[in-house]
């Protein structure tokens, strides 16, 4: 206890320490990458991965809020990214001639985030009444439904306004018009206005939102409901309402991430945000540690880069990825490894106290 007195209050308190680590980590990475980029030391491959990494981090942080803090397994996070991405592409496409890039990016991201949040709350109301694996399967089902709905949407814009059709493509545009959504082909010819800086800003905003929620009254209620539903109910916590709050924020973050992702590519197909993407996000969250935002960030960065780093292995890289995934799970759950880590940690902390 004595070492706590020496440190300033914001360092000794657990809730501030996590935040400080997160923000300094993001800042240092941003500066390092900017320097590398400006001196031309970053390969084009890595440069092209910067924005997607930020998007995956934000979506994974949202998912961690859902799975780690709220304790509900969500197998459909990618569908919220999809809602965000395609609504942002439409907004950006319709404003292309009238609004400059940066405000347009911000407006598109806000619209994407809001739409995804509305969607998340609409889905959440029925879903959160279910429990455990049934809840997981319903999120999976919603993910599939959203994917097939977007795959069947056709939206075009011309001087006469918007033209929309569903399932069959009946959109006929006056010359000079533009297709925003093109069914299974998705969005094509999108202006690429996403930037790495926007990605980092989004990550920081996501962290601020999630940390503030975690250590607020609502956040404590969410965690209480996760740890013991019945006990939480008996002290007057409305389970569905607060779980809905977490679910809504989680889908809002995924929507914003999706918006940034959608505006980073000139073509985007709806099949990009399928079940596999949801699973990938879940892998980032679980490997990083449930409820641990720093872990999520590190795991996301490593796992997005891993297949690229293994590119020299060519055909074997995804096989190695799979083996690494299984081995990490086996090792982190192995009793021997666990006690070894605990011992090492204890030794470290006693060393620090001894000083």
Partner 1 sequence: MDFLSYLINGLGLGSVYAIIALGYTMVYGIAKMLNFAHGDVIMIGAYVAFFSIGDLGLPVIPSVLLSMAVCTVLGVLIERLAYKPLRAASALSVLITAIGVSYFLQNAAQLLWSSSTKVFPTIVSAGGISWNGLTVSWLTLITIGTCIVVMICLTLFINHTKTGRAMRACSEDKGASVLMGINVNKMISITFAIGSGLAAIASVLLCAAYPSVYPTLGAMPGIKAFTAAVFGGIGSIPGAFLGGLLLGVIEIFAKAYISTQLSDAIVFAVLILVLLIKPTGLLGKRIREKV
Residues at the contact surface with partner 1, assessed by CB under 8 A: 67, 73, 126, 129-131, 133-134, 136-138, 140-142, 144-145, 148-149, 151-152, 167, 230, 275, 279, 282-283, 286-287, 290, 315-316, 318-319, 321-323, 325-326, 329-330, 332-334
CB nearer to partner 1: pick between 77 and 264: 77
Question: In angstroms, what is the minimal distance from the CB of 71 to partner 1?
Answer: 10
Question: In angstroms, what is the minimal distance from the CB of 64 to partner 1?
Answer: 12
Question: In angstroms, what is the minimal distance from the CB of 111 to partner 1?
Answer: 24
- Give which of 67, 77, 75 is closest to 223, Cα–Cα: 67
How far is residue 96 CA from its own chain's centroid? Answer: 26
Strand-strand pairing, 153-158 and 161-166: antiparallel
CB nearer to partner 1: pick between 30 and 154: 154
Tell me the CA distances in angstroms from 213 to 65, 207, 223, 249, 350, one per residue in order.
Answer: 9, 10, 11, 9, 33
Question: In angstroms, what is the minimal distance from the CB of 287 to partner 1?
Answer: 7
C-alpha–C-alpha distance, residues 242 and 350, integer Å: 39
CB nearer to partner 1: pick between 144 and 188: 144
Neighbours of 286 (CB within 10 A): 20
- Give which of 172, 253, 252 is closest to 206, Cα–Cα: 253
CB nearer to partner 1: pick between 3 and 133: 133
C-alpha–C-alpha distance, residues 203 and 209, integer Å: 10
Tell me the CA distances in angstroms from 1 to 5, 6, 275, 349, 352, one per residue in order.
Answer: 8, 10, 47, 12, 12
CB nearer to partner 1: pick between 152 and 218: 152
CB nearer to partner 1: pick between 61 and 91: 61
Question: In angstroms, what is the minimal distance from the CB of 130 to partner 1?
Answer: 5
CB nearer to partner 1: pick between 134 and 345: 134
The secondary structure of residue 271, as a DSSP letter, is G
In 92-188, beta strands by DSSP E: 153-158, 161-166, 178-182
The secondary structure of residue 216, as a DSSP letter, is S
Question: In angstroms, what is the minimal distance from the CB of 51 to partner 1?
Answer: 25
Question: In angstroms, what is the minimal distance from the CB of 199 to partner 1?
Answer: 26
C-alpha–C-alpha distance, residues 259 and 251, integer Å: 12
- Give which of 182, 159, 175 is closest to 89, Cα–Cα: 182
CB nearer to partner 1: pick between 169 and 294: 169
Question: In angstroms, what is the minimal distance from the CB of 278 to partner 1?
Answer: 11
The b-or-e profile of 118-146 (16+ CB within 10 A means b, else e) is ebbbebbeebbeeeeeebbebbbebbeeb
Question: In angstroms, what is the minimal distance from the CB of 168 to partner 1?
Answer: 9
CB nearer to partner 1: pick between 151 and 197: 151
């Amino acid at each position: 206890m004595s070492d706590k007195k020496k440190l300033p209050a914001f360092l000794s308190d657990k809730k501030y320490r996590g935040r400080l680590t997160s923000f300094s980590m993001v800042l240092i990475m941003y500066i390092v990458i900017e320097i590398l980029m400006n001196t031309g030391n970053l390969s084009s491959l890595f440069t092209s991965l910067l924005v997607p990494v930020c998007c995956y981090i934000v979506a994974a942080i949202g998912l961690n809020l859902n799975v780690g803090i709220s304790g509900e397994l969500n197998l459909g996070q990618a569908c919220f990214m999809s809602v965000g991405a395609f609504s942002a592409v439409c907004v950006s496409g319709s404003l292309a001639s009238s609004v400059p890039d940066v405000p347009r990016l911000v407006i598109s991201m806000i619209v994407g985030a809001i739409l995804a949040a509305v969607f998340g709350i609409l889905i959440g109301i029925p879903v959160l009444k279910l429990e455990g694996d049934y809840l997981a399967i319903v999120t999976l089902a919603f993910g599939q439904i959203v994917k097939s709905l977007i795959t069947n949407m056709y939206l075009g814009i011309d001087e006469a306004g918007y033209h929309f059709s569903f399932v069959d493509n009946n959109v006929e545009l006056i010359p000079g018009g533009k297709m925003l959504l093109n069914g299974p082909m998705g969005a094509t010819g999108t202006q690429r206005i996403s930037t790495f800086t926007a990605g980092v800003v989004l990550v920081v905003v996501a962290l601020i939102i999630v940390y503030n929620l975690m250590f607020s009254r609502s956040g404590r209620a969410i965690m209480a409901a996760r740890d013991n539903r019945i006990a939480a109910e008996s002290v007057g916590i409305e389970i569905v309402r607060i779980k809905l709050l977490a679910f809504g924020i989680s889908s809002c973050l995924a929507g914003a991430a999706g918006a940034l992702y959608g505006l980073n590519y000139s073509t985007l197909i709806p099949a990009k945000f399928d079940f596999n993407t949801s699973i990938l996000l879940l892998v980032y969250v679980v490997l990083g540690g449930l409820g641990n935002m720093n872990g999520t960030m590190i795991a996301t960065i490593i796992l997005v880069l891993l297949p690229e780093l293994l590119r020299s292995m060519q055909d074997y890289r995804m096989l190695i990825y799979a083996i690494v995934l299984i081995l990490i799970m086996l090792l982190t759950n192995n009793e021997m490894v666990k006690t070894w880590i605990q011992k090492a940690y204890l030794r470290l902390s006693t060393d620090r106290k001894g000083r």
